[in-house]
Amino acid sequence: MKQIGMICSGLCMLLLVSGCSKPETGLGEHGLQPCPDRPNCVTSLNGGDTHSVSPILYLSGREAAREKIRKIVSEMERTRIITDQPGYLHVVFTSRVMRFKDDVEFWFPEKGNSIHIRSASRVGYSDLGVNRKRVEEIRNRFLRE
């Protein structure tokens, strides 16, 4: 019985920490924030070998591409748009069971035709590839529409 109480206490602390963690989000001087030194983040800007994903390319105008991304993420499960600005979109995805939060950001630079993306877990070390899979799902939906 004592072990069950310790397990429940540990899970409660984990949930408490996951709900209170402050995300490392927002645009910096050179675009999206870099990934932390953990394998639970991917980015299209300076990701190196571990964190790198390709940006999403578009042929339409910048605003049309942003609206398309906004529509795609709005249709995905357990999402909440946090920031919706002309050149930037920040969305929070919440996992089904443990309610972990992942921050997904899209930056639409004024020059060029690329959407830079960063997807990062707020807590933990490994995400078992969830952020990379999410980015590729968003990319595939973008290219299909």
Query: Could you report the per-residue pLDDT of 131-141, keeping only the tens digit for each?
Result: 999 999 999 99
Can you state the angle between helices 130-144 and 62-75, rounded to 10 degrees? 120
Phi-psi region of 46 (alpha: psi -120 to 50; beta: other; left: phi over 0): left
User: How many residues does this entry show for the chain?
Assistant: 145
Count how many domains the chain has. 1
Helical (H) or strand (E) element with 13: helix 2-20
For 58-100, write each residue's pLDDT tens digit.
Answer: 999 999 999 999 999 999 999 999 999 989 999 999 998 889 9
Helical (H) or strand (E) element with 135: helix 130-144
Residue 85 belongs to what domain range?
2-144
Instruction: Write the CATH number for 21.
Output: 3.30.310.80
Q: Are 69 and 89 in contact (CB under 8 A)?
A: yes
- CB burial string 95-115: b at 16+ within 10 A, e below: eeeeebbbbbbbbbeeeeebb
pTM for the model stands at 0.81
Q: For the chain, what is the mean pLDDT?
A: 86
